[in-house]
């Protein structure tokens, strides 16, 4: 006997049950009594496998997936924090640019000293013009107030009848203009780098790029000078000493081009008051000595113009001159930046060379400190750091659903691997994805992005892929009369569904703001398969050489592929799938499809070895932040 069927049954036709058998109802009643006795029903009977959610194992796998996503989220947190910090910096910068009230207030507070310095500087600037003109460096008229700058001339013109004396100008002090000036200075400080803006304001003032605000400022400064001359003189002397520390090196090297001077004095221009604050007592002492020398030397120059001057105090002039020299140098630097200014003050101050060296040495830490303060206070974001590569790289991570579409053998789409009816929900277990969209050459996000995703619960029905086919026949001689019983069995087995861990890496390219086209290399790492076994049995009686069909029976069974059968199914199946994705906020909706790169069935009998597969996928980006 060749029959491999272990459960052999005879070929006889089923007799008429009604005539020969007891009724089925009675038979079942007796059977039920026996079952109740031998197999009582338990109230906590286990639920059938392959129920709606696929049994406890799938629940565990679901929890595992959530854990994986959580770990990914945690691992990506540092990058997120870094991005957040960057965002904060950007927001500071943005707020600064937008002049928001909060940051504005901070800047104002922060630059209070700077504003004071501006006030001082403005005073000094206006007076420096006087002294410098007095020194005859330029061809301006000798009259100090009128000849100082075009700015000052305009101020005078706006105050007809005030005369040409400083006293007239002081009298013409307008508190409203003073307020305007303060506001203007604050606005400029907020809108731009405080130090630079201040210096620019000073330069504008000195270069005759006059504005009403600056005029008012000059007037206000003069008013302040009038109120407390002695105090001003002392403070100006001190300031002059400190400022000479800053200015001297530039003025001391007339061979340098204005642009170079501007570079050297850039730090001081940005934070003039900070430089002053950072000078130590020793420096002040040293500077004080130098100041004396400076004063003495400058006194000589002032004496030359004293006869022409109508000012009341020589001391005031000294202070004005020294402090003005400082700002002249500042303005020189700014003017160099503007490439408009011609330095008329090269010979104004000639400090001795030793003092120059000493002071030059002392300046450096102050400059460094100034940068730190500026950085720490966050008035502006360091420009070199704001666009470093990686900061603007966008990370994507989250959950995804990528069910296979039931394009083939859809009747098995919802089946569990044991053949029982499962549920559509078996396809709705989430996977996870992580992706990156790097920054491009122009420091903008690239149009390409890369995704890596995994779904440990992937399931797809495939067209029947044959791996086993068997036909056998048995012949049994019943007796000597020549009657032969024949049984013909045909059996074939096909893979009809696989469960796998589905993972892939994708490249996506933004073809528009919302759509990407890309390609995905995907792998199915098979975890199980459903087998459809089809068999038919034909039973015949051969009587005197003639076949008489007694019965024909078809059997269609489903079962989970065993170990030997699993070996026929390729454990790692690779697919190349073009895909198109629609992006909207945190969501992505995509469709991909393609053919496998390798045969899924290793059996020599295999059919449908390269089935088309399509997936619909939905992603939710947990790292998305609304812009």
Partner 1 sequence: MNELEQIISQCRVNDRKGQEKLYRQFYPPLMALCKKFFRDNGDALEALNDGMLRVFKNIDAYQPTQGSFFNWTYTIVRNAAVDKIRKDKKSFQAESLDNSFMDAPDTDNPLKNLEWKELYRLLDSLTPATRAVCSLFYMEGFSVKEIAERLELSAGTIKWHLSESREKLKPVMEQYYSRQTPRNG
CA pair distance 223, 379, nearest whole angstrom: 32
Binding residue for partner 1, selected from 485, 488, 566, 602, defined by CB under 8 A: 485
Is 21 or 112 the residue whose CB approaches partner 1 more closely? 21
CA pair distance 461, 155, nearest whole angstrom: 90
Is 412 or 617 the residue whose CB approaches partner 1 more closely? 412
Size of the site for partner 1 (CB under 8 A): 58
Binding residue for partner 1, selected from 17, 63, 66, 428, defined by CB under 8 A: 17
What is the C-alpha radius of gyration for the chain, rounded to an integer number of angstroms?
A: 47
The window from 38-46, 52-60, 133-141, 494-502 that contacts partner 1 (CB under 8 A) reads 38-46
* Shortest distance (Å) from residue 488 CB to partner 1: 15
The window from 119-127, 281-289, 552-560, 571-579 that contacts partner 1 (CB under 8 A) reads 552-560
Contacts of 478 (CB under 8 A, 6+ apart): 484, 485
The window from 191-199, 325-333, 388-396, 550-558 that contacts partner 1 (CB under 8 A) reads 550-558
For the chain, the residue count is 627
- Does 43 sit near partner 1 (CB under 8 A)? no
Burial (0-12, 13-18, 19+ Cβ within 10 Å), 149: buried
Is 37 or 339 the residue whose CB approaches partner 1 more closely? 37
Give the three-class secondary structure for 339.
coil
CA pair distance 596, 410, nearest whole angstrom: 19
- Does 477 sit near partner 1 (CB under 8 A)? no
Across 301-371, the runs of DSSP E, i.e. the strands, are none
- Does 78 sit near partner 1 (CB under 8 A)? no
From residue 554, how far is each of 367, 418, 439, 488 by CA, in Å?
95, 20, 63, 12
Residue span 246-275 as binding mask against partner 1, x where in contact by CB under 8 A, dash where not:
------------------------------
- Does 44 sit near partner 1 (CB under 8 A)? no
- Does 511 sit near partner 1 (CB under 8 A)? no
* Shortest distance (Å) from residue 485 CB to partner 1: 8
Cβ atoms within 10 Å of 128's Cβ, excluding its own: 30
- Kindly report the backbone phi and psi dihedral angles of residue 489, in degrees, each rounded to the nearest multiple of 5, phi listed first: -120, 135
Kind and range of the H or E run holding 503: strand 483-510
Binding residue for partner 1, selected from 60, 63, 483, 572, defined by CB under 8 A: 483
Burial (0-12, 13-18, 19+ Cβ within 10 Å), 44: exposed
- Does 584 sit near partner 1 (CB under 8 A)? no
Is 16 or 281 the residue whose CB approaches partner 1 more closely? 16
Long-range contacts of 315-319 (CB under 8 A, 24+ apart): 315/229, 315/233, 316/225, 316/229, 316/232, 316/233, 317/130, 317/131, 317/134, 318/233, 318/237, 319/232, 319/233, 319/236, 319/237, 319/240
The window from 55-63, 438-446, 551-559, 567-575 that contacts partner 1 (CB under 8 A) reads 551-559
* Shortest distance (Å) from residue 406 CB to partner 1: 16
* Shortest distance (Å) from residue 423 CB to partner 1: 14
Residue span 50-69 as binding mask against partner 1, x where in contact by CB under 8 A, dash where not:
x-------------------
From residue 172, how far is each of 118, 168, 311, 555 by CA, in Å?
21, 6, 17, 114
* Shortest distance (Å) from residue 40 CB to partner 1: 9
Kind and range of the H or E run holding 347: none
Is 519 or 534 the residue whose CB approaches partner 1 more closely? 534
CA–centroid distance for 388 within its chain: 11
Is 271 or 459 the residue whose CB approaches partner 1 more closely? 459
Contacts of 184 (CB under 8 A, 6+ apart): 211, 213
- Does 74 sit near partner 1 (CB under 8 A)? no
What is the full DSSP assignment across 251-269?
HT-TTS-HHHHHHHTHHHH
CA pair distance 426, 404, nearest whole angstrom: 11
Contacts of 7 (CB under 8 A, 6+ apart): none
- Does 281 sit near partner 1 (CB under 8 A)? no
CA pair distance 436, 438, nearest whole angstrom: 6
- Does 562 sit near partner 1 (CB under 8 A)? yes
* Shortest distance (Å) from residue 532 CB to partner 1: 10
CB 610 within 8 A of CB 597: no
H helices of 482-624, where? 563-568
The window from 17-25, 252-260, 454-462, 606-614 that contacts partner 1 (CB under 8 A) reads 17-25
- Does 471 sit near partner 1 (CB under 8 A)? no
* Shortest distance (Å) from residue 479 CB to partner 1: 7
* Shortest distance (Å) from residue 393 CB to partner 1: 52
Is 481 or 512 the residue whose CB approaches partner 1 more closely? 481
Q: Going by DSSP bridges, is the β-strand pair 394-401/613-621 parallel, antiparallel, or unpaired?
A: antiparallel
The window from 1-9, 85-93, 339-347, 442-450 that contacts partner 1 (CB under 8 A) reads 1-9
- Kindly report the backbone phi and psi dihedral angles of residue 577, in degrees, each rounded to the nearest multiple of 5, phi listed first: -130, 120
Is 119 or 487 the residue whose CB approaches partner 1 more closely? 487
The window from 176-184, 311-319, 398-406, 547-555 that contacts partner 1 (CB under 8 A) reads 547-555
Cβ atoms within 10 Å of 465's Cβ, excluding its own: 26
Any bridge partners for residue 529, and if so which?
498
Is 50 or 594 the residue whose CB approaches partner 1 more closely? 50
Is 8 or 384 the residue whose CB approaches partner 1 more closely? 8
* Shortest distance (Å) from residue 529 CB to partner 1: 13
What are the residues binding partner 1 (CB under 8 A)? Answer: 5-10, 12-17, 20-22, 24, 27-28, 30-32, 34-35, 38-39, 41-42, 45-50, 418-421, 476, 478-479, 481, 483, 485, 533, 535, 543-544, 546-548, 553-559, 562
């Amino acid at each position: 006997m060749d029959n491999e069927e272990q459960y052999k049954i005879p070929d006889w036709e089923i007799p008429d049950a009604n005539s020969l058998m007891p009724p089925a109802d009675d038979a079942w009643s007796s059977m039920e009594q026996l079952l109740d006795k031998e197999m009582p029903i338990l109230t906590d009977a286990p639920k059938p496998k392959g129920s709606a959610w696929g049994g406890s194992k799938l629940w565990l796998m679901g929890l595992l997936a959530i854990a994986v996503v959580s770990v990914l989220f945690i691992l990506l947190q540092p990058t997120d924090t870094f991005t957040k910090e960057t965002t904060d910096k950007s927001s500071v910068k943005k707020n600064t640019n937008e002049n928001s009230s909060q940051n504005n207030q901070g800047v104002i507070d922060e630059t209070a000293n700077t504003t004071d310095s501006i006030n001082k500087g403005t005073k000094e600037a206006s007076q420096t013009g006087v002294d410098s003109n007095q020194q005859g460096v330029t061809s301006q008229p000798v009259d100090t107030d009128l000849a100082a700058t075009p700015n000052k001339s305009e101020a005078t013109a706006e105050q007809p009848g005030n005369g040409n004396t400083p006293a007239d100008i002081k009298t013409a002090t307008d508190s409203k203009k003073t307020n305007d000036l303060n506001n203007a200075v604050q606005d400029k400080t907020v809108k731009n780098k405080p130090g630079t803006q201040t210096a620019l304001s000073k330069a504008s003032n000195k270069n005759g790029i006059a504005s009403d605000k600056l005029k008012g400022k000059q007037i206000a400064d003069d008013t302040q000078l009038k109120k407390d001359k002695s105090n001003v003189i002392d403070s100006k002397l001190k300031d002059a000493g400190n400022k000479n520390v800053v200015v001297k090196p530039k003025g001391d090297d007339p061979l340098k081009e204005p642009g170079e001077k501007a570079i050297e004095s850039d730090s001081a221009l940005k934070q003039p008051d900070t430089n002053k604050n950072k000078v130590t007592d020793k420096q002040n002492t040293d500077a004080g000595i130098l100041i004396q020398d400076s004063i003495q030397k400058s006194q000589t120059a002032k004496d030359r113009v004293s006869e022409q001057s109508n000012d009341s105090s020589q001391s005031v002039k000294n202070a004005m001159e020294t402090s003005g020299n400082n700002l002249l140098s500042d303005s020189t630097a700014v003017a160099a930046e503007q490439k408009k200014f011609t330095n008329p003050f090269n010979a104004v101050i000639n400090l001795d060379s030793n003092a120059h060296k000493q002071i030059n040495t002392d300046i450096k830490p102050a400059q460094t400190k100034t940068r730190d303060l500026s950085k720490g206070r966050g008035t502006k974001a360091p420009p070199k750091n704001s666009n470093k590569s990686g900061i603007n790289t966008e990370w994507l991570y989250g959950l995804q659903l990528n069910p296979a579409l039931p394009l083939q053998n859809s009747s098995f789409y919802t089946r569990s691997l044991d053949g029982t009816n499962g549920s559509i929900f078996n396809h709705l277990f989430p996977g996870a994805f992580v992706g990156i969209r790097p920054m491009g050459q122009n420091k903008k996000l690239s149009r390409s992005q890369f995704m890596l995703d995994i779904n440990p619960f992937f399931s797809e029905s495939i067209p029947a892929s044959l791996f086993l086919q068997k036909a056998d026949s048995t012949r049994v001689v019943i007796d000597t009369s020549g009657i032969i019983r024949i049984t013909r069995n045909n059996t074939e087995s096909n893979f009809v569904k696989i469960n796998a861990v589905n993972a892939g890496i994708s490249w996506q390219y933004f073809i528009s703001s919302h759509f990407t086209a890309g390609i995905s290399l995907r792998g199915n790492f098979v975890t199980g398969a459903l087998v459809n076994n089809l068999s038919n049995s034909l039973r015949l009686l051969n009587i005197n050489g003639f076949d008489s069909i007694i019965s024909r029976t078809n059997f269609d069974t489903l079962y989970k592929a065993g170990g030997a059968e699993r070996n026929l199914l390729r454990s790692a199946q690779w697919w190349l799938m073009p895909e198109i994705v629609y992006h909207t906020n945190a969501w992505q909706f995509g469709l991909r499809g393609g053919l496998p790169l390798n045969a899924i069935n290793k059996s020599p009998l295999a059919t449908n070895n390269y089935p088309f597969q399509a997936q619909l996928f939905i992603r939710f980006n947990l790292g998305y932040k609304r812009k």
